[in-house]
Structure 1
Amino acid sequence: MTNHAQAVPRPSQQVTLTIFFGGPSNERNISLDSARTLYDSVRKKLAETNITLVFISRDTQFFRLDPKWIYSNTIEDFEHLPHQPLQADALNRLIKESDVLCPIVHGAYGEDGQLSARFEAQGRQAYLGSPPAGLATTLNKQQTVAAIAERGFPTVPNALITAAAWAEDAARERERAWHQVPGDTLNQRIVKPNRAGSSDGVSLSGVDTFDEAVTRALAFGDEVLVEQRIEGREFSLIVLQDQDDSIVPLAPTGIAIAESDTDPNQDNLYTRNKKYMPGAGARHQTPLAGPAELLQRMRTQAVDLFQALGLRDWARFDGFLSDDGTIIWSDLNGIPGCGLDSFLFQQAALFGMRHADVFSLLITRAAAREGRRLDFSDALGEDPASRRRVAVIGGGATSERHVSRMSWFNVTQKLAALQQYRIHTIYLDAEEAFWEVPAFVALQHTVDEIEAVLADVDAYQRAVPLVQTWRGTHFAGYAGDVAAHNFAPRRLKLADFPARFDFVFLALHGGIGENGTMQRRLDQLGLPYNGSSSQVAGLCMDKQATNQKCREFAIPGFEAPGQHLVARNDLIVELSRYADLDAADLETLTQRLPELIAAEQRVTDPLFQRWAKAVVRWAAGLQATLQSDQGLVLKPKADGCSSGVLVSRQPEHQLPIFLLFMMAGRDRIPQYLLYPKVTDRELFIALPRFDEILVEQMLAGADPETFMEMTIGVIGTRGKITAFYPSETLAQTDVLSLDEKFNKGMGVNLTPPPALDAAAVASIRARLAAYADQLGIEGYARIDVMYRPDSDTLYLIEVNNLPGLTSATIIYTQALVTPEFALKPAEFLDELIQLGFARQA
């Protein structure tokens, strides 16, 4: 191995870094998200040309990846493109010559130590994370439990079932495991893959569902672990090592699962969807509520386990806290998830560390193992006073507030990484009050968690001195002052904005953010903002108005589906024409909705059957009127991002229950109630408050391949709008869910659509730009359409004036791969700011 040691520190701009991500496991898209956060956090600290991205395929081939694809939501977005694999000699040369190697591969091949072992075979130690042996132990859940027991700590009783033993005699293995592992109060056990993460393949099983649970777990590996279900509070704790190798646990996060009012059979497990999709039912609290002595005991035990397992640099430890204060460690993760709003950064924010600070520390540690001293002295550089002040606003009171929170935090992080502005994080609460909040508050996973902090600011502030004590002198040079980073949230008035800020970046979705209200108020204050004027924003928010404009503009090859508008309060009147129903009947049905969730109850309930009969007849009449033989589309007249949208090929099955949820004022409906092929009981459709319902012509024919759903971003000044490359969006059902649009690693988008040639793409872009120009769009927007290739016809779905800007949104990829722009996400956001300043001027 070449000796890289240097006597003097090397500036960070000279450091070469290689980031490895992907891999064969089901966590490959979580790995993509983690790698993207690392890349984005350091690309302005290092020279971007010195950062190499290496994607590892399912069959463990290595590919050098163009950085523009790191901003895809899923690996499947770019995996179909032609990529030349790195040959063995080129890969070995890259491993030998990079200053620091960053294996961000979750699950198999990364967390089992195989990739780290490959580095060590090339004589390398300057890689981020633990040695192979420590990783191999932590990925094997049964070995982890054994290691915990060796340290004298309480563990979870368990039994291992191998695929071979299960195939040989399932009854014997079921009997053995069922009696070897105690049940919970309902005589249930946890069944999970022995070597997997992100709660994939995990079930809470009774004896009657045990075989199904084992089969599900075996899909993720050849070993299944059966565990006792622990009654207690779940928690997660991040551990970091400082420059001097001291082990520093951060602040444990408590995890609670809300009871479901739409699925009485929900198992309350902390699943992947609950981990990564805000609003899916998980609630977090950092630090975990409890006496300081208890929290310190957790931290002390974590140090012991970190040492005992031979871990290094970082880890995430998960466990349970029983009612009597017993700490039970369950899963130890050698490569913690490091997505933008992960526990790692939430807990680090309490310690005064930003994303770039955490990664600067870890990279410095890795380099030091081969004698290199790196200079990240600018890692804590504060924003110069001369920079323009940008207030980024997120939150709100709409059904899209959770998506807004994701967009909001992503925008603040990307703009901060540019080091061009002074970023102020402003939260709009449910009562439409403005709060300036520190990074820790913005890093809460849901708006409910944010508002819990705002409701009890004193509790948050009481945690600050405790964290100061824990941190002591650790992380010197990589962390700021704990109290300064965790200032008390302060309430602001909109009238104060002109004196405090130079620009307002709206990361709101729906409601006053998109209907023109905020734009009008900012115009009155003379403050520039992103996106279109108040008049155009109001127009774009109205799905009926944009549909009518599409007809008026008469752009060749661009049409609008037929629509019927019904006021919410008039729906029962329309339905009463087809059956004996009145408002009292509707009230009775909405009160009995919890029991009607069960299909057998709906079939046998006379009143619901009368309701269903009326809905089916009403829908049949609209299908005839709208010439919509294949079904109907229901959507709110003024909302977006898939909130309240139902694409129904089976109106007789879907509409009665959907409309009942809507009329009952529920904020969500599980997808499995509407789409039989959806087996994940946690996927849902968000339901905003419907004042007016649009019933729309179904465009997709009997053959779903006849139509292609696409989304296209547009950008520019008024009258000079350019459309990006379109993206084909692939949905699990007939409508893209919130999860597929905004949940990391869920939705697949192909940009541009592989089935379209360059001429078709150019024509689509031209039509979308013409439509956007005539609408009067300024800055940017996203337009969703259906496209029929055989007739080369576009059909409007909706226009989004403030499209989602989460890390998973496709508009970033479009801005990167459209040749005349080639803007990375942070630079794209900066362009939106410049367009906002130009519009005001």
Structure 2
Amino acid sequence: MKIGIFFGGPSREREISFAGGRTVYDNLDKALFEAVPVFVDSSGNFILLNWEFIYKGTIRDFYPPVSALPASSVPVQLYFESLGELSAAEQDAIIAEVGRRVEPRELSQLIDFAFLALHGPGGEDGAIQGLLEWYGIPYSGSGILPSAFGIDKVAQKKLLKALGQPTPDFRLITAKEWDAADPQATLDYLVRELGLPLVFKAPRQGSSIGISILREADVAQFAAAIERSLFRKTVTQAEWQGLSDAQKISWLQRLVDIRDGIGLPVVLADSVELLADSSTLNEANSQQLAANSSSILYRPDELLHALNERLETAESVLLTSVEGEMQVLVESFVQGREFSCIVVEDSNGQPLALPPTEIVKGDEMFDYRSKYLPGLARKITPIALPEADIQAIRDACETMFRTFGFQVYARLDGFIQADGTLFLNDPNTTSGMLPASFFFHQAAEIGLNPSQFLTYLIRTSLAARRRGGLGPVKLAALLARLDAAVAARAAGEQQRIRVAVIMGGYSSERHISVESGRNIYEKLSSSIKYEPVPVFLTGSSAEFRLYVLPINVMLKDNADDIREKIEHHEAGHETHPVLARIRREAEGITSTYAGPAATQPRRVTFEELAAMVDEVFIALHGRPGEDGALQAQLEQFGLPYNGSGVASSQVTINKFDTNRRLREAGLRVAGHRMAARQEWAADAESFFRGLETQFPYPFIAKPADDGCSSAVKKIKNRAELEAFTRLIFRDQEDLLPAEATTLSLGFKEEFPRKEAFLVETLIDRDGAAHFLEVTGGLLTHWGPGGELEIEVFEASEALATGEVLSLEEKFLAGEGQNITPARYAPEAAERQRISEEVKRELRRVAEILHIQGYARIDAFVRVRANGAVEVLIIEVNSLPGMTPATCIFHQTALAGYTPYQFIDQILEFGKQRTQQQAVRTM
């Protein structure tokens, strides 16, 4: 069956939609379905996307393509809408670089079914659902009417009030009312009516976009919250002129972010009266814009110029997104425990609430970053409440599902107060579909892995569309074919190669390791060739403890949650009675799509693991995993594994040893030395002076054996050096608050404890004509005579918004900016010449360090005015991150490998290496 995956779209949630569409693309069962990627751009064009672009980190990395981008002095990647008004021919030329335009009437010839991974307006509001019904194409999720209702928070609130269902009290403020209002009087009214804190929401947005919480009656904060929900920004002359040029650029970067800022294009006006009574920028509005000396600005450099010019004379200007909201929903704050619950239709078409998840976030709002970056918020499933309260949540969610007429699945959020009072709000007809989202997280509790869950949803959606009268004869045939294929797939389950995917660990990289491991698991589980077995490693360097994980534990939010679940089981705790009940209720689903499955983790020895699986994929990062210790254990039992062997791993895990060997071989590396705790403890002042003498500020300080940007800091002065030293040499687990503030550590940012750290000279431009940071991947093969061949991929150019690449930029969907291939030069021939020189140096690194399997090498590249190329190696990762958005997949796609094919090559290499070693020892 051909499944069209619709993702991207015009909404502010497009990056999560893009990442979710990739998850669906990868997890569709290849024995049952053919995935057809249909990317929807911000103008609503349908694009049959070339598969390699699916693995870009963000939409902006490939669309619009570099050839269509205007010259800009502001370093911000642009979305398609920033190109301005384009003719159909101009749009077609741009689309042709990434795929081909698909007219809606063509869809029925390309796909049998539409899986909708779109979010927000244009995706969840009934529009795309109506178009698909017009052309007779079945689609996933709810139909037109419940979708339109599900996106409108105001309509939902009114219906809940009318039905007498508990929901927070609310008031609406329209843009017109706000522009005419006295802010202080409006705030006083809202506080009197709703109390404090107040919650402000953009009524048609998801992913916590446009949401603020006002905790005190401060009129300036109140106005900022209203503007945030309307996607406006007032800029005063004093504020703007008080910024340096660099600060203005940073301010603009935040402003044009479609999630936290207002995005582009914007309208700039001297007066807030401009848009007071307009809901859309139609022709009349355009005339009004001209009459009020206002303009639509599409690009950040245009906006920068306009602000500089206008704020020379105007006391303030108002920026308004052309895709802003026209009203703000203001709610009373609910003090309670926050939960989210996925409801699906069971095998009889009745709503079945999966186990609700509690969101534990401390004082932080559950914002975009907390939702999508592992380790920042805790998801506890089921919510830790008495069984009766959990069942009350499930009953309420099933009731809302019926009341709103939802179909197939929905995600319902709410709060439960200490007295048991329930508040349900913000139902979503499309849930986020990242690997560890509530969507897959809760389905795993009934025993369905992502691939199986997607199969079930497609089947259920076909049945729902048929019940609604959409092509009943055609859909009956599709259902029969799918049911037969699912039964045949189940019969062939035992014929696949079993691969243990080892993830987790106990280092600061453990959460990213789990993300990598899950991604590998999902790529393999949807294949015809492999059957993955998830294995969690914990313990210490003295003793590795291995646990085979059931799917529900593997899909816990992060490594700490997984470890906690293992400890809970080992302490003798029984399965939660609510989980046992839900699994019984879901047996009609799981018996068809999953079969019997373990629900508790099981500890195994290496010997037992060797008897269970054919080979191993190590998805660990840093220690343990990349240091050779685990590899040595696996070799004892003849288990093939990915990546480099023991000796090479022992070198590359240590950045100091790696750099020393490379320098001795004649390669360029940064000046470096190790700084030991013992030296600092003996005489701190001499320790600091010694470093300052050898390394002028600024310089880089970082752990020698951790990755994932963990504790990598640009040290600019003595205060930062002292703070870094005290943090990394601290005795307690918790961070030191004053030092964390000095280093501007983010919420829950990992900072490991070490006995020594690495200090490096800051690599800078040094007068080069062109200077950039790159990361390059490689893959090794066995040649016809058994010799090692190294395939080096085109490197990616990494763009850091801060001083160093952050964890978010590397791994958070839609956050990082990686350009592949790297932009060494504007002319194609010169770019390729430089690229070949860079690849030659990366190949030398691999040869010197005896790297096998695959690796990622980070470097800086200087291109001199005379064309000379200098490659300065930063570090080598022998087991690079394999999360869905990591740039190594961008590089392998350019070389013609899908992520699955790349992983398959890695596994095959490890298997052949083990076979060669066995022959040599005979």
Structure 1 length-normalised TM: 0.84
Secondary structure at the counterpart of residue 818 of structure 2 = strand
Secondary structure at the counterpart of residue 577 of structure 1 = helix
Whether 1:350 and 2:462 are equivalent positions in the alignment is: no
Check whether the contact 1:710–1:785 (CA below 8 A) recurs between aligned residues: yes
State the distance in 2 between where 1:216 and 1:407 align: 35
Which stretch shows the higher mean deviation, 734-743 or 774-783?
Answer: 734-743
Name 1:397's counterpart in structure 2: 506
Deviations 1:397-441 (A, max 9, x none): 111111111111111111111132332211112453111110100
Whether 1:58 and 2:42 are equivalent positions in the alignment is: yes
Counterpart selection for 1:797 from 874, 884, 905: 874
Deviation at 1:47, TM superposition (A): 5.2
Secondary structure at the counterpart of residue 434 of structure 1 = strand
State the distance in 1 between where 2:740 and 2:152 align: 33
Which stretch shows the higher mean deviation, 151-160 or 455-464?
Answer: 455-464
State the distance in 2 between where 1:668 and 1:420 align: 46
State the distance in 2 between where 1:74 and 1:704 align: 29
Shift in alpha-carbon separation, 1:734–1:327, aligned structure 2, 3 A: same
Secondary structure at the counterpart of residue 398 of structure 1 = coil
Deviation at 1:772, TM superposition (A): 0.7
Whether 1:623 and 2:719 are equivalent positions in the alignment is: no
Whether 1:764 and 2:838 are equivalent positions in the alignment is: yes
State the distance in 2 between where 1:669 and 1:71 align: 39
Shift in alpha-carbon separation, 1:472–1:543, aligned structure 2, 3 A: closer
Which stretch shows the higher mean deviation, 283-292 or 654-663?
Answer: 654-663
Shift in alpha-carbon separation, 1:794–1:366, aligned structure 2, 3 A: same
Check whether the contact 1:407–1:804 (CA below 8 A) recurs between aligned residues: yes
Name 2:271's counterpart in structure 1: none
Whether 1:568 and 2:677 are equivalent positions in the alignment is: yes
Shift in alpha-carbon separation, 1:472–1:511, aligned structure 2, 3 A: closer
Deviations 1:772-824 (A, max 9, x none): 12210000111111112334211111101111111121112211112xxx221
Residue identity over aligned pairs, in percent, reads 32
Counterpart selection for 2:593 from 465, 478, 495: 478
Whether 1:41 and 2:27 are equivalent positions in the alignment is: yes
Check whether the contact 2:780–2:852 (CA below 8 A) recurs between aligned residues: yes
Shift in alpha-carbon separation, 1:761–1:80, aligned structure 2, 3 A: farther
Counterpart selection for 1:308 from 390, 395, 403: 403
Name 2:904's counterpart in structure 1: 830
State the distance in 2 between where 1:87 and 1:802 align: 36
Whether 1:453 and 2:453 are equivalent positions in the alignment is: no
Which stretch shows the higher mean deviation, 531-540 or 220-229?
Answer: 220-229
Secondary structure at the counterpart of residue 383 of structure 2 = coil
Whether 1:80 and 2:68 are equivalent positions in the alignment is: no
Secondary structure at the counterpart of residue 644 of structure 2 = coil
State the distance in 2 between where 1:475 and 1:572 align: 59
Name 2:610's counterpart in structure 1: 498
Whether 1:214 and 2:226 are equivalent positions in the alignment is: yes
Secondary structure at the counterpart of residue 363 of structure 1 = helix
Which stretch shows the higher mean deviation, 779-788 or 417-426?
Answer: 417-426
Amino acid at match of 2:177: A
Which stretch shows the higher mean deviation, 467-476 or 420-429?
Answer: 467-476
Deviation at 1:674, TM superposition (A): 6.0
Counterpart mapping for 1:357-756 below 5 A: 357-368=452-463, 369=466, 370-371=471-472, 372=475, 373-374=478-479, 375-376=481-482, 377-379=484-486, 381=490, 384-431=493-540, 432-457=544-569, 458-460=573-575, 462-471=577-586, 473-474=588-589, 477-480=592-595, 484-555=596-667, 559-573=668-682, 575-577=684-686, 620-624=692-696, 631-648=698-715, 650-652=716-718, 654-664=720-730, 673=741, 682=746, 685-701=749-765, 706-717=770-781, 719-756=788-825
Name 2:111's counterpart in structure 1: 98
Name 2:203's counterpart in structure 1: 194
Whether 1:274 and 2:258 are equivalent positions in the alignment is: no
Check whether the contact 1:719–1:774 (CA below 8 A) recurs between aligned residues: no
Whether 1:154 and 2:166 are equivalent positions in the alignment is: yes
Check whether the contact 1:242–1:361 (CA below 8 A) recurs between aligned residues: no
Deviation at 1:45, TM superposition (A): 3.3
Deviation at 1:633, TM superposition (A): 0.6
Name 2:54's counterpart in structure 1: 70
Check whether the contact 1:157–1:182 (CA below 8 A) recurs between aligned residues: no
Check whether the contact 2:662–2:669 (CA below 8 A) recurs between aligned residues: yes
Shift in alpha-carbon separation, 1:489–1:462, aligned structure 2, 3 A: farther
Check whether the contact 2:507–2:622 (CA below 8 A) recurs between aligned residues: yes
Amino acid at match of 1:22: G
Shift in alpha-carbon separation, 1:47–1:325, aligned structure 2, 3 A: closer
Name 1:22's counterpart in structure 2: 8
State the distance in 2 between where 1:546 and 1:366 align: 54
State the distance in 2 between where 1:177 and 1:512 align: 55
Check whether the contact 2:26–2:526 (CA below 8 A) recurs between aligned residues: yes
State the distance in 2 between where 1:733 and 1:86 align: 33
Secondary structure at the counterpart of residue 477 of structure 1 = helix
Shift in alpha-carbon separation, 1:465–1:160, aligned structure 2, 3 A: same
State the distance in 2 between where 1:515 and 1:396 align: 12
Which stretch shows the higher mean deviation, 652-661 or 536-545?
Answer: 652-661
Secondary structure at the counterpart of residue 521 of structure 2 = helix
Deviations 1:546-594 (A, max 9, x none): 1122212225xxx11111221123224453238xxxxxxxxxxxxxxxx
Counterpart selection for 2:413 from 318, 340, 345: 318
Secondary structure at the counterpart of residue 897 of structure 2 = coil
Name 1:261's counterpart in structure 2: none
Check whether the contact 1:23–1:58 (CA below 8 A) recurs between aligned residues: yes
Check whether the contact 1:669–1:687 (CA below 8 A) recurs between aligned residues: no
Check whether the contact 1:232–1:321 (CA below 8 A) recurs between aligned residues: yes
Shift in alpha-carbon separation, 1:138–1:384, aligned structure 2, 3 A: closer
State the distance in 2 between where 1:116 and 1:705 align: 52
Secondary structure at the counterpart of residue 511 of structure 1 = coil
Name 2:852's counterpart in structure 1: 778
Shift in alpha-carbon separation, 1:243–1:493, aligned structure 2, 3 A: closer
Counterpart selection for 2:121 from 108, 113, 118: 108
Check whether the contact 1:387–1:422 (CA below 8 A) recurs between aligned residues: yes
Amino acid at match of 1:792: V
Secondary structure at the counterpart of residue 138 of structure 1 = helix
Point out where structure 1 has 5 or more consecutive residues left out of the alignment: 1-14, 259-266, 579-614
Which stretch shows the higher mean deviation, 420-429 or 161-170?
Answer: 161-170
State the distance in 2 between where 1:784 and 1:137 align: 49
Secondary structure at the counterpart of residue 773 of structure 2 = strand
Secondary structure at the counterpart of residue 858 of structure 2 = strand
Secondary structure at the counterpart of residue 686 of structure 1 = coil
Check whether the contact 1:161–1:224 (CA below 8 A) recurs between aligned residues: yes
Structure 2 length-normalised TM: 0.77
Name 1:136's counterpart in structure 2: 148
Deviation at 1:319, TM superposition (A): 0.4
State the distance in 1 between where 2:588 and 2:565 align: 27
Shift in alpha-carbon separation, 1:356–1:496, aligned structure 2, 3 A: closer
Amino acid at match of 1:340: P
State the distance in 2 between where 1:207 and 1:96 align: 58
Amino acid at match of 2:397: A
Deviation at 1:543, TM superposition (A): 0.6
Secondary structure at the counterpart of residue 736 of structure 1 = coil
State the distance in 2 between where 1:691 and 1:86 align: 52
Whether 1:295 and 2:390 are equivalent positions in the alignment is: yes
Point out where structure 2 has 5 or more consecutive residues left out of the alignment: 66-93, 232-261, 263-323, 782-786, 826-830, 916-922
State the distance in 1 between where 2:339 and 2:576 align: 21
Deviations 1:715-766 (A, max 9, x none): 1047421111111112221211122112222212111024542222222222
Name 2:283's counterpart in structure 1: none
State the distance in 1 between where 2:171 and 2:559 align: 39
State the distance in 2 between where 1:172 and 1:500 align: 70
Shift in alpha-carbon separation, 1:658–1:705, aligned structure 2, 3 A: farther
Deviations 1:385-407 (A, max 9, x none): 45433211111111111111111
